Amino acid sequence: MRLKPYLLWLSLLFFVACGNPSTPPKPPSEVVIAEKPEEVQVKASEQLEKLISFLGESNGKLNDSTTLRNYQLLRDIYSGSGYEPIWSENNRWKLLGDSLFHVIFKSKEFGLFPSDYHLEPILAIRNKFVIDTAARKNIASWTRADILLTDGFLQMARDLYSGRLVKDSITMRADSLSPQQLKGCLDTLLLTNQPHAVLEPLEPQHPGYKALRAALPGFLDSTQFRKYTYVQFPQADSMTLIREVARRLQEDTLLAADWQEQDSAAYSAAVRKYQSAHSIRTTGVAAELTVKSLNNTGWEKFKRIAINLDRYKQIPAKLPETYIWVNLPSFTLTLVDMDTIALQSKVIVGASKTRTPVLTSEIVNFITYPQWTVPYSIIFKEMLPKIQKDTNFLARQNLMVVDKNDSVISPSSIDWFKLNKNHFPYLIRQRQGDDNSLGVMKFNFRNKYAVYLHDTNARGLFSRSARALSHGCVRVQEWEKLAHFLVRNDEIRYHPDTLRAWISRQEKHVISDFVHVPIFIRYFTCEADGGRIKFFDDIYADDRMLAERYFRNKPIN
């Protein structure tokens, strides 16, 4: 069908007026020379205005490799100052511009990645000015560097305040900095000329964070960063695992660069050599411990430090005066009272398949000689097959079966083979006593996971170094000291001898009339110890998951 002349004219007019919507905006020229000194500031303002307009049209994308995430705030900042450069003047860096560049250059000391703050393009411009003095006349380079420095500063402020991890159900710190607050940070910087004095107050003030940050420069000075192959483990294909391990060993020059897959003897010898050098049992087979060691490079450690620093940015800016802190990877419970450690205890936490959840709650009561009601998850996964094989399993484990009326049912009267997840009209409980899985004390706190702190009848397990062994609850070695602390302000009724007497007589008591103590169960895999950074095993592989999600392609600067 042919368009009528006036319709064709309208369509052409619309195309000319609106342009082709698929055509990307054209960036400003990358070469704008100012030959005369009096032209510098005028052309710089013109270029800044064009750059800001272009960034608005391109959603902050300066080119294929650089995106400015704060481009909308940049528009407000530069338009408000008449599009004057912030960090340079008359083709010379201001002292503050140099200072900010060096803060970005050394931003690893904050647990940050310099590439997130445009280090590479800024450094390229600075180097070009040094190598080619004629390049200093290019106003386009100065204005690009100016905008990159401003965006880099704003993004550093954001990341230092709220981190890079996505907020989740346990994030308790205030929302991220508002545009007004970020602009206030920039204004303060321009007034004080001290980047560190502006940025550091944005960081968490938690003692653990401050100690880790203080130890980070020493870690960086003693660590050489190299990109290594990360070996995935376990793998369904054994040959793929061997290839990855071989590539990793080649990077350490333990295996010849021209190694052939059929040369299994050379591969095994290289694995044994690595194992011997790292105090791993020399088997010649790269199993779990060997692969963990291969992956434990300086670069991977830095990423773990960065993740842990960001975890501190998820907790409240100010913690309560008294609280319980359970750190799962270190298998420790710490009770803090008025900035003093009142109690420390070893704990046993959930195994990787039945992990202890991270959460925030408060201890509301504790029970002497508690009775354990077995969770259905444990019944179906572990107990039911054993009961079906031999109902005497219940008696051996001091377990009883009760119905919905809390009446005890004889196990022999039940057809256990007809029971399943969809039909199980009973509860299984463990009688209270010294052989109860909860031990002689249980501490309750509200949570949707039905977990709690408790004693255990397997106290020998506290001697193990790796204690991710439970079904999800936290077993506490110093349960008696914890109980005494909770009722410390009422020794008339709850004297330590009273609690011990109840336990010796195997009496059940529920104690709830004490000031509830907040409890934080968290996942931190490193901490500062004597000025050095100590790492704990990533028991639930959370570090690896977060590193893959957020830091996978970060360049080593």
Whether 123 and 166 share a structural domain: yes
Average pLDDT score over residue span 207-220: 96
Q: Which of 118, 185, 471, 473 is catalytic?
A: 473
Please report the pLDDT score of residue 432 as a whole number: 73
Whether 381 and 367 share a structural domain: no
Whether 344 and 404 share a structural domain: no
In the predicted structure, residue 93 carries a pLDDT above the cut 50? yes
pLDDT band at 336 (very low <50, low <70, confident <90, very high): very high
Pairing of strands 372-373, 399-402: unpaired
Residues spanned by the domain of 182 = 27-203
In the predicted structure, residue 11 carries a pLDDT above the cut 60? no
In the predicted structure, residue 3 carries a pLDDT above the cut 90? no
Q: How far is CA 519 from CA 50, 226, 367, 523, in A?
A: 54, 40, 17, 13
**Domain's final residue, options 203, 220, 249:** 203
Please report the pLDDT score of residue 406 as a whole number: 79
The SS3 assignment for 371 reads coil
Residue 478 lies in a domain: yes
Whether 416 and 439 share a structural domain: no
234: preceding bond cis by omega (within 30 degrees): yes
Please report the pLDDT score of residue 530 as a whole number: 92
Q: Tell me the pLDDT of the chain averaged across its residues.
A: 91
**What's the 3-state SS for 310-353?**
HHHCCCCCCCCCEEEEEECCCCEEEEEECCEEEEEEEEEEECHH
Whether 405 and 363 share a structural domain: no
Which of 106-115, 330-339, 422-431, 449-458 is predicted least confidently? 422-431
Whether 326 and 438 share a structural domain: yes
Please report the pLDDT score of residue 1 as a whole number: 44
Task: Quote the CA–CA distance of 402 and 507 in Å, as a whole number.
Answer: 21
The pLDDT tens digits of the residues spanning 361-386 come to 999 999 998 888 888 888 988 899 99
Please report the pLDDT score of residue 13 as a whole number: 47
Task: Quote the CA–CA distance of 198 and 104 in Å, as a whole number.
Answer: 14
Residue 470 lies in a domain: yes
Whether 334 and 423 share a structural domain: no
pLDDT band at 16 (very low <50, low <70, confident <90, very high): very low
DSSP 44-72: HHHHHHHHHHHHHHTTTEEETTEE-TTHH
Question: CB under 8 Å to 233, separation ≥6 — which residues?
Answer: 241, 288, 291, 292
Please report the pLDDT score of residue 171 as a whole number: 73
pLDDT band at 535 (very low <50, low <70, confident <90, very high): very high
The SS3 assignment for 479 reads helix
Q: Token digits for 360?
A: 């925030």
Task: Indicate if 473 belongs to the active site.
Answer: yes
Whether 550 and 505 share a structural domain: yes
The SS3 assignment for 92 reads strand
Whether 476 and 412 share a structural domain: no
Q: Which of 118, 454, 471, 526 is catalytic?
A: 454
Average pLDDT score over residue span 522-547: 96
Task: Quote the CA–CA distance of 483 and 104 in Å, as a whole number.
Answer: 49
More confident residue, 201 or 494: 201
Which of 21-30, 107-116, 409-418 is predicted least confidently? 21-30
Please report the pLDDT score of residue 20 as a whole number: 53
Whether 366 and 382 share a structural domain: no
Chain centre to alpha carbon of residue 500: 41
More confident residue, 169 or 11: 169
Query: How many domains does the chain divide into?
Result: 3
Which of 7-11, 360-364, 387-391, 431-435 is predicted least confidently? 7-11
In the predicted structure, residue 357 carries a pLDDT above the cut 80? yes
Please report the pLDDT score of residue 4 as a whole number: 53
In the predicted structure, residue 495 carries a pLDDT above the cut 90? no
Give counts: helices (H), strands (E), the chain: 19, 20
Residue 306 lies in a domain: no
Residue 208 lies in a domain: no
Whether 412 and 441 share a structural domain: no
| Greatest mean pLDDT among 161-170, 425-434, 440-449 | 440-449
Whether 438 and 416 share a structural domain: no
Task: Indicate if 471 belongs to the active site.
Answer: no
Which of 69-83, 171-185, 238-252, 296-310 is predicted least confidently? 171-185
**Domain's final residue, options 187, 203, 219:** 203
pLDDT band at 316 (very low <50, low <70, confident <90, very high): confident
